Structure formats: C-alpha cells, structure tokens
C-alpha cells in the first residue's frame, strides 16, 4: 500500500495561484492532500481503535438498570412543602437503606415532573421502607393535590429484558451490514464496499469506546442511536464514493491524473458538503440534548443525543479521512492502476522536459477544467489520448546519409 504523492499542479506544469484555506475549502480544487497522507490517517485511526478496544476490554461499560436489572422508584416532584429536588430524594433514600441509589434524575417539567430513583434489585421489605421514608420526609402530592403514599410507585426491571434488547440490536446490526455490503457491491464495486464497511465498523468501535472511556450509561436509547448513526455515516460515505466513481470514469485509458489524485479531488469537492451536513445535523441533536436534559430532565433524550453526537463526529471523519484513503490503497494494489500511474508520471516528465528544452508550456487542457463526468469532455480526452499514443508509437524519421544516396538521376531503365 505505497503512498503516492498527489500533484496539485495543472497540466501546463504551473503552480496554481495561492488561495486562503476557506477559498480552497469552498472551491474544492484538490488543494488538501488527504489521500496523499493516508498512512498518517491509518496510524491515527488505528491508535484510536486500539485505545477504544483496550478500554472496552479492561474497563467495560456502565450498563443501566435496563441491562443489569434493578428497582426503580418514582414519585411526583411536587410535595406538600414545595418542589422536591433530586438531592432531597437521594438523601432520604440513603438514610433509609444506608446506600446511595445508582441513579437519581428528574423527568418532565412543571406539574408533571417526577423524580426517578434507580438502584440494584431491592427486596419487598426494602422497597416498602424506602417508600415510607420518602412519604414521611417529602410528602409527595397525589392526583387530587393531597399528600398520598400511593403517589409513590415502584417497578422491577429484569436483566433478561436488557439482554434481549442487546441480542435484537446485534441481529439488526448484522442484517444492516449484510444489506449494505450487497448494495455497495452492486452499485459501486467490491473495494468500495469493503472500505465503507471498515469505516462503519470504525464508527461503531469508536462510539462504543467513547462510552467506555467517559463512563456514559448504556441504555436502550444508546442502542437505538447507534443504529441511527450507521445510516448517517453510510450516507456520507456513499456521497463521497459517488464523486470518486464520477472522477475516475475511464481513468485507465487516461494519463491526466492517477487514481489517487482523482479520488483526492473527489474528497475535496465533497469536503465542504460533508462539513455543512455534519454541522446542520448536529444542531438539532444539540437542541435535543439541551431541551431533553437541561429543560425536561429526560434521561432517554440525553442518552440518545450523546450517542448521536459521538457517532456523527466519528462518521464524518471516517467518511473523509478513512474510507477514501483506504479505497485508494486497495485500488493501488492492482497492477493496472499502478501501470496507469506510471504512464501519468512518464507523460508529465516528458512534458516538463519538452518545456525546459523549448521554453514553451504544454498545450494540454488544464486539469481544473476537465470533468470526467461530462460525456463530451471524456470522449474528447479519450480521442486525445489515442492520438497521443499513436504519435508516440511512430518511429522517428532520420534523413539518409550521403553515402546512402544514389548518384545521378534515375534513367528509368532496368538493369540487366
């Protein structure tokens, strides 16, 4: 998987005018050598995956009550003495059982707000003890507006329910990957399918690794969000690959660009779009996090927003900096693409030599104006390539020396 250098000069051998970073980003002229530095990207992504796998293996995950099982106690956030806070409820729980609950949160807002206390599985006596303590200290109000012990409810969650959710999520993930592979092979080709799947697996591992490293709680909403970001990451990768496919049409018969340069140009041409899509997609997710957690205090919305933010960021980077560079490395393993790259470099050396000898710039059309997606331009370029190859195959003609010339005029008579 040799690393090829992406040439940013035009066909005349001239360096393009210097532009600012934002101008290059907006125009997408291929000035960012993303594919040419693919080994650095591979090392960075490999190190990130190694850290995530190590954390998952050694530290594990912070599974919620839905996966590990436990007891949940819920009471209204309105009491006879005013608003009941999560700190008050947690303190009463600790005093009653001598241990802190695993999680305390407020769900909803206003008169419909409730306090949820989650802990390891409690026996009926412990549940009764906690409910009596909560009613005695906080006096939660019932539906009739009067303090009522019946306003405090409890539920028990079995660990088998969480394992069933995990199993169904894994099945959905496997089916999704199989369908994606079939689609990519039929629409693109095998190396693009493999590169896209590697990028998807990267997104899954990195998202799970971040949850393990930071200690975010894993809930059923996490599994839902994980499957959602896979579709987002795949969409971004397909857009980039579609541009790569367009830029590399008939490239084996052309000597204007190498496959690596055409792919790098495609990444640059879609880079601004990828950034805009990511920013626009992250804005409502951030709104979901702010509204769902800060204003409504909903743990489910918080979990969903966290996994979406993590996965979208990872998916954007993998689509731009992993999928296409990996595709180029796989393509350049094939002899026909290496041979085509050698022809490109040979032609450029010939043009540079001709320019230095004659002091005249090459007459080829500028690379920036050539669009392989345009059938007319592609056909014209293929004709030009055939003419160039035909001219190169004709042997040079040299004048005969004086000793080889016949003396005198031809008489037209045959010698006997």
CATH (domain of 141): 3.30.70.260
Classify strands 62-63 and 217-218 as parallel, antiparallel or unpaired. Answer: parallel
CB-based burial label for 316 (10 Å; 0-12, 13-18, 19+):
buried
Residue 286: its pLDDT value, please? 85
Task: Evaluate if residue 388 carries a pLDDT over 60.
Answer: no
8-12, 152-156, 177-181, 382-386 — which is least confidently predicted?
Answer: 8-12
* Number of domains present in the structure of the chain: 2
Pick from 296, 320, 335: which residue ends a domain? 335
Task: Evaluate if residue 382 carries a pLDDT over 80.
Answer: no
Residue 9: its pLDDT value, please? 44
CATH of the domain at 51: 1.20.1640.10
Per the structure, the complete domain to which residue 151 belongs is given by 70-157
Question: Are residues 95 and 171 part of one domain?
Answer: no
**Distance (Å, whole) CA 279 – CA 205:** 22
Residue 370: its pLDDT value, please? 57
Q: What is the DSSP string of 135-153?
A: HHHH-BB-TTSSB-GGG-E
Task: Evaluate if residue 367 carries a pLDDT over 80.
Answer: no
194-203, 204-213, 374-383, 398-407 — which is least confidently predicted?
Answer: 398-407
Question: Are residues 330 and 246 part of one domain?
Answer: yes
Question: Are residues 190 and 272 part of one domain?
Answer: yes
Pick from 133, 157, 181: which residue ends a domain? 157
Question: Are residues 121 and 193 part of one domain?
Answer: no
Residue 365: its pLDDT value, please? 44
The mean per-residue pLDDT over the stretch 88-102 comes to 87
**Distance (Å, whole) CA 320 – CA 312:** 12
Give domain status of residue 192, yes or no: yes
Identity of the highest mean pLDDT range in 137-146, 339-348, 377-386, 401-410? 339-348
Question: Are residues 176 and 242 part of one domain?
Answer: yes
Residue 383: its pLDDT value, please? 59
pLDDT tens sequence across 109-134: 677 788 888 888 888 888 888 888 88
What's the sign of the alpha-carbon dihedral 26, 30, 35, 37?
Answer: negative
Q: Which pLDDT band, with edges at 50, 70 and 90, does 12 fall under?
A: very low
Cβ–Cβ contacts within 10 Å for residue 60, how many? 10
Give domain status of residue 18, yes or no: no
Residue 159: its pLDDT value, please? 67
Give domain status of residue 141, yes or no: yes
Question: Are residues 228 and 131 part of one domain?
Answer: no
Q: Which pLDDT band, with edges at 50, 70 and 90, does 321 fall under?
A: very high
Question: Are residues 246 and 175 part of one domain?
Answer: yes
Question: Are residues 167 and 54 part of one domain?
Answer: yes
Per the structure block, which two tokens stand in for 142? 């019932």
Task: Evaluate if residue 14 carries a pLDDT over 80.
Answer: no
Task: Evaluate if residue 368 carries a pLDDT over 80.
Answer: no
Q: Which pLDDT band, with edges at 50, 70 and 90, does 69 fall under?
A: confident
Residue 29: its pLDDT value, please? 64
Per the structure block, which two tokens stand in for 273? 């779009």
């Amino acid at each position: 998987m040799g690393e090829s250098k992406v040439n940013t000069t035009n066909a005349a051998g001239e360096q393009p005018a210097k532009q600012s970073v934002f101008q290059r980003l907006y125009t997408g002229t291929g000035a960012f050598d993303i594919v040419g530095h693919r080994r650095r990207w591979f090392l960075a992504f490999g190190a990130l995956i190694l850290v995530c796998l190590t954390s998952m293996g050694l530290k594990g995950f912070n599974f919620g009550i839905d996966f590990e099982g436990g007891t949940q106690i819920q009471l209204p956030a309105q009491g006879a003495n005013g608003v009941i806070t999560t700190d008050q409820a947690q303190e009463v729980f600790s005093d009653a059982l001598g241990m802190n609950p695993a999680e305390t949160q407020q769900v909803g807002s206003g008169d419909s707000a409730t306090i949820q206390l989650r802990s390891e599985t409690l026996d009926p006596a412990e549940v009764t003890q906690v409910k009596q303590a909560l009613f005695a200290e906080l006096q939660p109000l019932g539906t009739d507006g009067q303090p009522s012990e019946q306003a405090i409810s409890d539920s028990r969650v079995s660990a088998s329910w969480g394992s069933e959710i995990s199993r169904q999520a894994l099945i959905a993930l496997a089916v999704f990957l199989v369908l994606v592979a079939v689609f990519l092979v039929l629409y693109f080709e095998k190396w693009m399918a493999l590169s896209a799947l590697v990028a998807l697996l990267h997104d899954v591992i990195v998202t799970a690794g971040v949850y393990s490293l930071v200690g975010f709680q894993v809930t059923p909403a996490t599994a839902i969000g994980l499957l959602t970001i896979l579709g987002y990451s795949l969409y971004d990768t397909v857009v980039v690959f579609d541009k790569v496919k367009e830029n590399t049409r008939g490239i084996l018969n052309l000597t204007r660009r190498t496959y690596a340069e055409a792919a790098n140009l495609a990444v640059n041409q879609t880079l601004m779009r990828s950034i805009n899509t990511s920013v626009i997609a992250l804005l409502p997710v951030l709104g979901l996090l702010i509204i769902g957690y800060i204003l409504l205090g909903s743990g489910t919305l918080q979990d969903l927003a966290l996994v979406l933010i993590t996965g979208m960021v990872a998916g954007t980077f993998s689509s731009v900096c992993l999928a296409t560079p990996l595709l180029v490395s796989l393509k350049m393993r094939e002899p026909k693409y290496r041979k085509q790259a050698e022809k490109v470099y040979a032609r450029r050396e010939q043009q540079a030599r001709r320019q230095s000898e004659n002091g005249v710039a090459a007459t080829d059309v500028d690379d920036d104006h050539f669009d392989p997606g345009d059938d007319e331009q592609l056909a014209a370029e293929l004709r030009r390539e055939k003419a160039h190859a035909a001219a190169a195959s004709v042997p040079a003609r040299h004048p005969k020396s004086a000793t080889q010339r016949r003396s005198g005029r031809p008489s037209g008579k045959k010698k006997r």
